[in-house]
Amino acid sequence: MRKDTICVQGAYKPKNGEPRVIPIVQSTTFKYDSSQEMGDLFDLKKSGYFYSRLQNPTCDLAAAKIAMLEGGVAGMLTSSGQAANFYAVFNIASAGDHVVSSAAIYGGTFNLFNVTMRKLGIDFTFVSPTASEEEIQAAIQPNTKCIFGETISNPSLDIMDIETFAKVAHKNGIPLIIDNTFATPINCRPFEFGCDIVTHSTTKYMEGHASTIGGAIVDSGKFDWEQNDKFPGLTTPDESYHGLTYTKDFGEAAYITKATAQLMRDLGSIPAANNAWLLNLGLETLHLRMPRHCENAKKVAEYLKNNEKITWVKCAMLDDDSQHEIAMKYMPNGTCGVVSFGIKGGREAATVFMDSLKLAAIVTHVADARTCCLHPASTTHRQLTDKELEECGVTPDLLRFSCGIEDADDIIEDIQQALDKI
pTM score over 0.85 = yes
Domains of the chain (ranges plus CATH)?
A: 3-281 (3.40.640.10), 288-419 (3.90.1150.10)
pLDDT digits (tens, 9 = 90+) for 45-96: 888 888 899 899 999 999 999 999 999 999 999 999 999 999 999 999 999 9
Question: What distance in Å separates the CA atoms of residue 62 and residue 294, rounded to the nearest whole number?
Answer: 24
Q: Which tens digit of pLDDT belongs to each residue from 279-307?
A: 999 999 999 999 999 999 999 999 999 99
**Cα 142 from chain centre:** 27
Q: Is the dihedral of CA 409, 300, 412, 309 positive or negative?
A: negative
Do residues 170 and 242 lie in contact, with contact meaning Cβ atoms separated by under 8 Å?
no
Identify the band that residue 350 occupies on the pLDDT scale cut at 50, 70 and 90: confident
Label residue 275 by pLDDT band (50, 70, 90): very high
Contact 137, 168 (CB under 8 A): yes
Residue 163 three-state SS: helix
pLDDT single digits (tens) 98-154: 999 999 999 899 999 999 999 999 999 999 999 999 999 999 999 999 999 999 998
Tell me which residue of 399, 393, 396 sits closest to 104, measured CA to CA: 393
Per-residue pLDDT tens for 321-334? 999 999 999 999 99
Evaluate if residue 242 carries a pLDDT over 90: no
Q: HSE (CB half, 13 Å, CA atoms) of 270?
A: 21
Percent of the chain with pLDDT over 90: 84
CA distances from 47 to 29, 71, 249, 261 (A): 15, 22, 12, 11
Residue 198's SS3 state is strand
